[in-house]
Amino acid sequence: MGELESTRQYMKPLELFERKGLVTVCAPMVRYSKLAFRTLVRKYGCDICFTPMIITDSFLQSIQARHSDFTTSKEDRPLVVQFAASKGEDWARATKIIAPFCDGVDLNCGCPQRWAMAEGYGACLIHKPELVADMIHQTRNTVTDPDFTVSIKIRIHKDYKHTVDFARQMESAGASFISVHGRTQEQRGDPVCLDAIRDIKSALKIPVVANGDIRSMDDAYQIQKITGVNGVMAARGMLENPAMYAGHKTTPLECVKDWVNIALTTGTNFACFHHHLIYMMDKSLSRAERRYFNILGSTSGVLAYLTEKYMMEFFVLFI
């Protein structure tokens, strides 16, 4: 699963929330929030990274699944591991295994996909406050380190006053912080409800992180100004521009170079390597260039294209 200790000095999540005016977070993204991408965004100002969501059942049942689902390194901190769970004992057991390798765990209470909710995971949990409170309590008692965070990521109810009540219960149960995606489980492209996030933040003493509609630092500061949150979490905005938290409006070429270097030295599979570049270069390519680049089928083809387009010897080294 990775190396146990880090030689790099870093602040743990709660210390970051206490000391920093606005904590920047990379959201848990299936297939994308893996070690290579986390390494990239940390170079560009991301304070805390989440892993992709890990299903507790498979994680507990198979050592092979653990190694497949979770990879880390000495520099991959602070790190929060997100789990999908429907039972407190499962989340607690998974946490006990993973705790030496990370700084906190998170329970996914926001995934709106039907398969997840059918299994008792994700957004359906916001309608089960007693269960989630018990899950937090059990998991909190598994780790003795008071700086180790036990958090949840939620969506909002249609009547977000219920979300405020839900968040209060989770705080009482021992949640370290709460990340709020300001949409209901039915909503997709609708604007996030900043009123809901603001009211949740006002009701709690623990840190609150806002998620949704954050594509730039301007968005981040504006949302903080409106809601008073302690941190912001981005997903698609980070895919399109991994250097967003460093203040870049679009992905700089240096970031593209960094991604190529990190991905190839960490053995990132081609599909992941290519898909990240498709997102990162979307705004810098013409429609015809995007059409051509998106159908490239090999690492050598991608590197040859980048070398020709940008006339950079950097890429030639990897062909």
Q: Is residue 27 within 8 Å of 34, Cβ to Cβ?
A: no
The identity of residue 202, as a single letter, is S
Per-residue pLDDT of the chain (319 residues; tens, 9 = 90+): 544 344 457 899 999 999 999 999 999 999 899 999 999 999 999 999 999 999 998 899 888 878 888 999 999 999 999 999 999 999 999 999 999 999 999 999 998 888 888 888 888 999 999 999 999 999 999 998 999 999 999 999 999 999 999 999 999 999 999 999 999 988 888 899 999 999 999 999 999 999 999 999 999 999 999 999 999 999 999 999 999 999 999 999 999 999 999 999 988 999 999 999 999 999 989 999 999 999 999 999 999 999 888 866 544 444 4
Look up 124 and say whether it is catalytic: no
H-helix or E-strand spanning residue 234: strand 231-234
* Helix-strand-coil split of the chain, %, nearest 5: 50, 15, 40
DSSP conformational letter for 51: P
Q: Is residue 51 within 8 Å of 82, Cβ to Cβ?
A: yes
| Domain residue limits, the chain | 13-246, 253-316
The catalytic position among 26, 46, 111, 255 is 111
The dihedrals phi and psi of 24, each to the nearest 5 degrees, come to -105, 135
Fold of 13-246: TIM Barrel (3.20.20)
